[in-house]
Amino acid sequence: MDTLSLRLFIRIAERGVFAKAARDLTMSPATAGARLAKLEEQVGARLFHRTTRAVSLTTDGAAFLPYARQVIETLSQGMSAVGGHETEAQGRLRMTLPGSFGRMHVVPYLAEFALRYPRIELDLRLSDEVLDVVAGAFDLIIRNAPLSDSNMVARKLVSDRRMLVAAPSYLARFGTPQTPADLANHRCVTLADHPRWRFADGQSLSVPRALSVNDGEAMRMLLEQGFGVGVKSVWNAYQSLQSGKLVALLPDDPLADDVAVWALYPSSHVVTAKVRVMIDFLHQCFHPVPPWENPSRQSGETERHHAQK
């Protein structure tokens, strides 16, 4: 499988017209057709639907495309390294991140990222599900869940401090818990995969659930409406705490502080320039103090980034 055939495949996918893609690579239509046929034979799948006027990716072709791009980008970086040149950050960066965290604390910075790195094309997937970075052909995954895959390289972006919270309306009706043991007498809202609450002193409670939900934003809304007591990340709940919609509980009994937001990529992958600059950029956004721990930073974030350029 030669790189020129891979470049042809990528160019056809981008142009959507076979003849134009062949012309871009100074190939005759006959030569391009032969190369594509050979590539499909090697892959073992049909990569395009063809009509007389246009082509479109098949399901297999769409699945193969990010891997082909990664091969070309990795090869380019390797050649630059051998030549002693710094590889410019460019290409498509396919990235997945948690829905709520991404919307609140990554998307607002991406316009600045695009100004710094105009040759990087972002392809984002926001989901609270833990997506498979390899099966999804992702270059980078941002995750605030326990790490269990030893085949991943992880860099900590920022701590994910969590606390017990409830709405004033709920506390007025049911009282304020004074100790972790009091939670047994309260309505508790939990995330689907977190039925136990662990405290810094080693206590671990299986709480009585009034409701379980798999979406962090929905959980925060339920808590604000007085549904019960729940555990929230400070990055998600800080605005509700500032406005008084939620109140922090049990300040003398903090939750275990062992959760973080991580940047991950497969250990088998070469760290391309586009991945490295995104990780460095996000790390910079959250340090030395993340904006949700020091909200006064938010209004000046754009100016700070411009000043550091």
What is the tens place of the pLDDT at every residue in 50-98?
876 778 899 999 888 888 887 877 776 676 656 555 567 888 888 999 8
Query: Which among 207, 175, 205 is positioned nearest to 189, based on CA atoms?
Result: 207
Q: How confident is the model over 174-214, as pLDDT tens digits? A: 999 999 999 989 999 998 766 789 999 988 888 877 888 88
Residue 68's CATH number: 1.10.10.10
Q: How many CB atoms lie within 10 A of CB 128?
A: 20
* Domain identity same for 115 and 244: no
Are 133 and 150 in the same domain? yes
Q: Are residues 153 and 263 in the same domain?
A: yes
Statement: residue 130 has pLDDT above 70: no
* Among 230, 222, 267, CA closest to 249: 230
225 and 295 fall within a common domain: no
pTM of the predicted protein model:
0.69
Per the structure, the complete domain to which residue 60 belongs is given by 3-82
pLDDT tens digits for range 207-249 = 877 888 888 889 999 999 999 999 999 999 999 999 999 999 9
The SS3 assignment for 191 reads strand
Starting at the edge strand found earlier in the chain, the sheet holding 229-233 runs: 209-213, 188-191, 229-233, 162-166, 247-248
Residue 185 shares a structural domain with residue 70: no
Same structural domain for residues 149 and 15? no
- Which of 63, 82, 101 terminates a domain? The answer is 82
The residue from 55, 82, 109 where one domain ends is 82
Which of the listed residues 82, 116, 132 is the one where a domain comes to its end? 82
User: Looking at the structure, do residues 156 and 266 belong to the same domain, yes or no?
Assistant: yes
Q: Specify whether 16 is located in the same domain as 65.
A: yes
The CA distance from 276 to 131, in Å, is: 20
State the total domains in the chain.
3
**Residue 142 dihedral angles phi and psi, to the nearest 5°:** -105, 130
At residue 77, what are phi and psi to the nearest 5 degrees? -65, -40
Q: 169 and 149, same structural domain?
A: no
Q: At 174, which CATH number?
A: 3.40.190.10
Do residues 267 and 154 both lie within one domain? yes
Question: Do both 140 and 199 map to the same domain?
Answer: no
* Residue 299 banded pLDDT, cuts 50, 70, 90: very low
Asked, for residue 136, whether it belongs to a domain, the answer is yes
The reply to whether 30 and 73 lie within a common domain is yes
The answer to whether residue 253 is domain-embedded is no
The residue type at 213: V
In a domain, residue 114? The reply is: yes
Under 8 Å between Cβ of 146 and 209: no
The per-residue pLDDT for 112 is 95
CA 291 to CA 47: how far, in whole Å? 45
Secondary structure (3-state) at 100: helix
Whether residue 254 lies inside any domain: the answer is: no
H or E element that contains 159: strand 152-159
